[in-house]
């Protein structure tokens, strides 16, 4: 009886408002599900990039550092001032923050590859 009276007085406006609220909630839920799926797909494709092109990108970055590091090591063993074949020249060191950064970056690159190999 009261419901019929309220429906008659409001003309079904309350039902329309409730339907709109329910549709809005459903749309937000769908939007969140789509967003979660996009994020999941993005994270699933990241390792594929590292397997495909990421290795070459890391190699291009690491080769100059590896060349510099090997030059320092070879110089330190053979041609330093008090070594087997002393010479007057020396190999320049990387500037102060770059030497630390280079070590951290190479450790991050090859550390990730090493951990990945150990997991398999």
- Asked if the model's pLDDT at residue 100 lies above 80, the reply is yes
Number of domains observed in the structure of the chain: 1
- Asked if the model's pLDDT at residue 34 lies above 80, the reply is yes
Q: 3-class DSSP state for residue 83?
A: coil
- What stretches of the chain show up as alpha helix (H) in DSSP? 2-10, 13-49, 55-74, 96-119
Rounded Cα–Cα distance for residues 47 and 20 (Å): 42
Rounded Cα–Cα distance for residues 97 and 64 (Å): 17
Q: What is the pLDDT of residue 117?
A: 65
The pLDDT confidence band at residue 107, using thresholds 50, 70 and 90, is: confident
Q: Between 2-10 and 13-49, two packed helices, what is the crossing angle to 10 degrees?
A: 80
Maximum Cα interatomic distance, the chain, rounded to a whole number of Å: 108
- Asked if the model's pLDDT at residue 91 lies above 80, the reply is no
**DSSP 8-state code for residue 91:** P
Rounded Cα–Cα distance for residues 31 and 28 (Å): 5
Q: Tens digit of pLDDT for each residue in 14-27?
A: 677 777 878 888 87
Least confident of 56-65, 82-91, 111-120: 111-120
Please check whether residue 111 is in contact with residue 103, taking contact to mean a CB–CB distance below 8 angstroms.
no
Please check whether residue 75 is in contact with residue 90, taking contact to mean a CB–CB distance below 8 angstroms.
yes
Its pTM surpasses 0.85: no
Range of 41's domain? 2-119
């Amino acid at each position: 009886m009261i419901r019929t009276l309220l429906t008659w007085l409001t003309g079904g406006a309350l039902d329309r408002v409730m339907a709109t609220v329910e549709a809005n909630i459903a749309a937000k839920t769908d939007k969140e599900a789509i967003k979660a799926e996009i994020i999941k797909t993005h994270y699933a494709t990241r390792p594929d990039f590292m397997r495909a092109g990421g290795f070459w990108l890391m190699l291009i970055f690491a080769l100059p550092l590896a060349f510099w590091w090997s030059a320092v090591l070879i110089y330190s063993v053979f041609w330093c001032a008090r070594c087997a074949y002393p010479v007057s020249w020396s190999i320049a060191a990387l500037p102060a923050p770059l030497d630390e950064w280079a070590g951290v970056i190479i450790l991050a690159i090859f550390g990730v590859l090493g951990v990945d190999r150990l997991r398999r």
